Structure formats: structure tokens, C-alpha cells
Amino acid sequence: MFSRLKVTFFILSAGLLVLAGAACESKYGVAGISDSDVVATVGDAKITFGDWMRQLDLLRVFSPQPVDPNNADQVKEVLQSLEDQEVVLGALRKANYTDPKFDTELQNQLVQSDLQIKQIKDKLKKDQETVNRLEKNYKDAYTKMLLAQHFAASQVDSVSVSNQEIKERYELFSIEAKKAGQEVPPFDKVKDQIKIRIQADKLLTQFQGDLKISQKDDVIAKYLATLSPSEQALNDNKILPPQGSN
């Protein structure tokens, strides 16, 4: 199941904040939405539609848990990952965090990502447009992701979690898994993963503090509606006048 991409996702795979595009029209082919349209704010920081779409491209290519671009829930979770990413980077800036090793790690990661992009170009004909967009301007966004990942990983071990918290989270997980018809693994096999998730949740809450996060529902809904023909039909029906009205 594709769950919300919090700090755990930054640490284990790829949570991204992408630089905004300044185009007047969206290069992602969505009518009525430009890349510069704001879809969310985190404090004073703005997240644009272009940021959101580039984040989606990056996760489709670099994430070990690929995102389905036609799944509205997953696409919206990508936006939530951007909000979380900005929270982490805000905490990083407040802490004046630096690590001399990061530049070396970054260069190594970018070399590896270049190789990955080339491999993907050879085998993903269906996603050629995605790869072409990323190849031109993904490195700034990827650098942001790696920096946030590095900082979150350096801080998460400092978060304390009690055995009682782990057991309570396991019970909630078990209830949800049973509702979904999934097998519940033994507690001892998943307790370490649960601890990491709780640490990630606490760390993100700590980073966020009283920072306000808001979303622009009109722009978001307009895009999500293009992913689901059935949802679009329902939305269209809502604006039709009742039968017999003038």
C-alpha cells in the first residue's frame, strides 16, 4: 500500500522539493493550469504546480516504490511529500546544518543517477516524455532531496520512542491490515520498522512546529480530475441544472 510520504520516505527512498518553473503554460499538458500556479504553501514558501509535477516525474524514475501517475490518491500524496520536504529543509536552515561529506556524497549520487537515467531511456519507451523532462533539469531537485534525506537521517536517531508507543502503533496497524484482508506479521518482525516510522512522525512534527501548511484546493482538484474519467463525469454532473429547470 502506498502510504503518505513522510520523513521515513526521505530516509529510505526519495522525498523531494523541486524548484519552481516560471513558464506561463504547463509543459505537462494540463489545460487551465500553468507551471507557476501555486498549489500549496508551507509557511512563506510556495509550492507550484510545476514543482508538484516534477516531483511526480522524479518519484516515477528514482523511487523503489514507483508512483502511478493516474492514481489520484498517490499523486496527491506526492504533493504532501513536497510539503514535508519543505518542513525538513526549513528545520535544516534554522539549524544552519552543514556537513562537508555531503558534497562528495552528492557528486557520487548524481553520477549514479545519470547512469540510471541513461538505462531508463533505453527501456522505458512508454515513459519517454518523463525521462526527457527529467534529463534536462532534475539535478537541482535531486540535490534538494539528497540534502533533506541526509539531514533527516542525521537527526532521527535522537528521537526517543517507548515500547508502549510501538505496541500501540502495531495494534493500529494490525486493525488496518485485517480490514484490508492482509496478513498481520508478528510483532517482533516489524517492531523496528514501526519504531522508525514513529521516530519519523515525531521528527516531522518537531520540525514543523507552528509552521502553517495550506493547499490550493481549486488547482489541485482541477488536475486530479483529469486522472479519473469517472470522477470527472461526477463533477460535471454536479454543475448540471436539475431536470425540468430553466
pLDDT digits (tens, 9 = 90+) for 114-155: 888 887 777 656 567 777 778 878 888 889 888 998 999 999
The domain 7-159+210-228 having CATH identifier 3.30.70: the answer here is: no
What percent of the chain is helix, strand and coil (3-state, nearest 5)? Answer: 60, 5, 35
Cell of 164: 508502549
236: left (phi over 0), alpha (psi -120 to 50) or beta: alpha
141 Cα distance to chain centroid: 12
Phi, psi of 126, rounded to the nearest 5 degrees: -65, -30
pLDDT at 222 over 60: yes
Contact between 217 and 44 under an 8 Å Cβ cutoff? The reply is: no
More confident residue, 84 or 123: 84
Q: How far is CA 33 from the centre of its chain?
A: 20
HSE-CB for 243 with a 13 A CA cutoff: 0
Question: Is pTM beyond 0.85 here?
Answer: no
Q: Judge whether residue 101 has pLDDT over 80.
A: yes
Check if the beta carbon of residue 193 is closer than 8 Å to that of residue 185. Answer: no
Beta bridge partners of 142: none
